[in-house]
Structure 1
Amino acid sequence: MLRRTACLRHLNRRTAVYGSRTVQSSFVMSKCCCTATTTITTPVLNSSPPRHNSVLTLNGGKSMATGRTPAAPSPHIAVTPETRARIEQRQQTAFDFFDETLQLYGVEELIFCFNGGKDCTVLLDLLMRYCRQQGISSREIPMLYIKSDDAFAEIDEFVARCVEHYNVQLIEYEESLKEALTHMSADMPRIKAVFVGSRNTDPYCEHLSPMQPTDNGWPPMMRLNPLLEWSYHDVWHYIHMNCVAYCPLYNKGYTSIGYRSNTVPNPHLKRLDLTSPCSGAEGDYRPAWELADPTQERDGRLQRK
């Protein structure tokens, strides 16, 4: 079944044979980027259809037309020499981690778990920069995205733009992460390890190791966590220093993005004086990087009853 990523429209359809698989492709045009892409679903012959779609871009990874941060860091992001040195060291540590990963796994055994959030966005940018440096094609490490009817439209649209900008292959499932990994293990048995953008301040992540097997009851796989030691402000410093595109919800006071049903703008970023200008702000909330206390990062997440 053909599935279209958010903000894409169908233009043409054709069917071809790719090896032992039937390939149905659609040429689509991104309303955001105005660059052509192809969406390909590849059901195995004489078998039930796979649970994922492969989205391959044809634009060669050109820059996005929208979603970019300003060329200069926000005045609220103080980039001191010490800050710059720390972020450069964080980047080098991540690159060293990628080196170690490739000593243990082949590129074809890796996948990248992406949810459109700021942490995953930083990890994606780091990984793609490393791949370019090492001469590794950006399409060799697929991006895994879990679709949901409860997702913000801005997240779905941002994921689509990332696919085009970084020229990556997108694997989509519409189920829980655990179910998706289970089905992915069956659909793509070569995958042995998954990159995750977790930090040790995230729930249940304080005791994680950079390389840690999945828990009992989950498909056996190695979790790769290069950003564990990064702070909330490290993430935003990296984004602004490198002009990395990010989901526009962060301009509206969101600091930790889950689903529409459990996420609101962070109350600590509520603008008290709506008459005064605020750099980067949209509406009644200041942007995410202005959050002073990183322990309040998840205060926009609603508690489930």
Structure 2
Amino acid sequence: MCNAFYAAKVCHDLVQSFLASSPTSSLYSLKSTFDKDNNSVLKLHNKLQLPTLYPSSFNATLHESAQTQVQKSYNDFLSVLSHWDLEQLSISYNGGKDCLVQLIIYLAAIYQFIEVDRKGTQKEPNTIHVNAVYVHTENEFEDQLRFLEKSVLQYGLDFTAVYTTIDVNDSASSQILRGEANDSSQGRITCLFSPTPTLPCGFLTYLKSKESVKAIVVGIRRTDPYGATLKLEQKTDTHRGWPDFMRINPILEWHTSDVWYFIKWLQHTSSNSDFAIDYCSLYNDGYTSLGGCGNTVRNPQLKRKDSKEKNVLFWPAWWILDDDIERLSRVQKGKV
């Protein structure tokens, strides 16, 4: 388990390093073929049978685009922190790529606001309390759940998992996340059970357990369903049965290419540190948008043959970066 303060400091240093980096040192320019380095990134990419260390799209133009998106989201978070107390905020986190990006930037902004700008308040020195939540409405893949569990502890979150389809008495279910902590500054997992199997009821269950929370950070983008008309801060639709809270949407303008470039840059930069940034392994297997087991498949647009033209493989999610094909990993329930 990790102290949230330390995680926020590491994320802050990584974000500042990325923003200060030159587009001319893009990931693709670092190494176009495998030859010398023997690090974890190289081993992973070799295992995936990729022709080059990074795709040609990971160039200076994309580096600069991702920097622009990171800076905007970072500034938006600082603005949010200026009028919401940290205890009033929570972040929706399911271990997916979009949630991971916004979590890292959120932690970086918290450290900037509290430690660098000295604008926040802390009960004790070198402590940060970060609320997080995930409302489970489907049966997730085992790999996603294990990454979620691991990363919640790594980033030191006070995390609540709300189950809408699992009975409170089914404690043996593999879907139930595990986690313990000695104090609130370390990663902690609490499990709650919604009385009815709906997303709004799941959030209501959470808000009743965390009465201080008034706003929740959500990782939706413009290209996602229902994302086209959203603003940075927007109230829930209480007339449609949602509980009353403010939704914070800090990555609305991001594209899939920005998300993956930033994640892979973080992975590359932190690979030899004691706080290595990772992501759910399902993305390496051709899944581009993670839902439940019953409506998620490997993206058919990423299908390929191996080097001997015999076995069917899939490009990793970050190898072909197109918003239009990203959600082809999702299908109607019952048709997987």
TM over 0.5: yes
Gaps of 5+ in 1: 1-36, 38-55
Quickly say closer, same or farther: Cα 1:99–1:255, change in 2 above 3 A: same
Aligned counterpart, 2:251: 227
Aligned counterpart, 1:96: 75
Quickly say closer, same or farther: Cα 1:140–1:59, change in 2 above 3 A: closer
Q: Does 1:299 align with 2:299?
A: no
Q: Does 1:242 align with 2:266?
A: yes
Aligned counterpart, 2:28: none
Quickly say closer, same or farther: Cα 1:233–1:241, change in 2 above 3 A: same
TM alignment of 1:206-217, pairs within 5 A? 206-215=228-237, 216=239, 217=241
Give the letter for the 1:105 counterpart.
Answer: W
Quickly say closer, same or farther: Cα 1:139–1:150, change in 2 above 3 A: farther
CA–CA separation in structure 1 for the residues paired with 2:7 and 2:229: 36
After TM superposition, give the deviation of residue 131 of structure 1 in Å. Answer: 2.1
Aligned counterpart, 2:291: 258
SS of residue matched to 1:245:
coil
Quickly say closer, same or farther: Cα 1:163–1:230, change in 2 above 3 A: same
Aligned counterpart, 2:242: 218
Q: Give the fraction of aligned pairs with identical amino acids, expressed as a percent.
A: 30
Aligned counterpart, 2:313: 284
After TM superposition, give the deviation of residue 79 of structure 1 in Å. Answer: 3.5
- Where is the helix percentage greater, Structure 1 or Structure 2? 2
After TM superposition, give the deviation of residue 129 of structure 1 in Å. Answer: 1.9
SS of residue matched to 1:271:
strand
Q: Please, which of 224, 248, 262 is the counterpart of residue 202 of structure 1? A: 224
Gaps of 5+ in 2: 11-38, 46-51, 121-125, 165-197, 268-276
CA–CA separation in structure 2 for the residues paired with 1:263 and 1:173: 21
SS of residue matched to 1:297:
helix
Quickly say closer, same or farther: Cα 1:179–1:77, change in 2 above 3 A: farther
Contact 1:69 1:245 in 2 (8 A): no
After TM superposition, give the deviation of residue 83 of structure 1 in Å. Answer: 2.3
SS of residue matched to 2:329:
coil
After TM superposition, give the deviation of residue 168 of structure 1 in Å. Answer: 1.4
Q: How many residues align?
A: 243
After TM superposition, give the deviation of residue 272 of structure 1 in Å. Answer: 3.3
CA–CA separation in structure 2 for the residues paired with 1:69 and 1:221: 42
Q: Does 1:86 align with 2:65?
A: yes
Aligned counterpart, 2:211: 189
Contact 1:252 1:288 in 2 (8 A): yes
TM (normalized to structure 1)?
0.71
Contact 1:198 1:227 in 2 (8 A): yes
- Where is the strand percentage greater, Structure 1 or Structure 2? 1
Give the letter for the 1:141 counterpart.
Answer: V
Quickly say closer, same or farther: Cα 1:102–1:57, change in 2 above 3 A: closer
SS of residue matched to 1:228:
coil
Contact 1:199 1:230 in 2 (8 A): yes
CA–CA separation in structure 2 for the residues paired with 1:58 and 1:87: 25
CA–CA separation in structure 2 for the residues paired with 1:57 and 1:148: 29
TM (normalized to structure 2)?
0.65
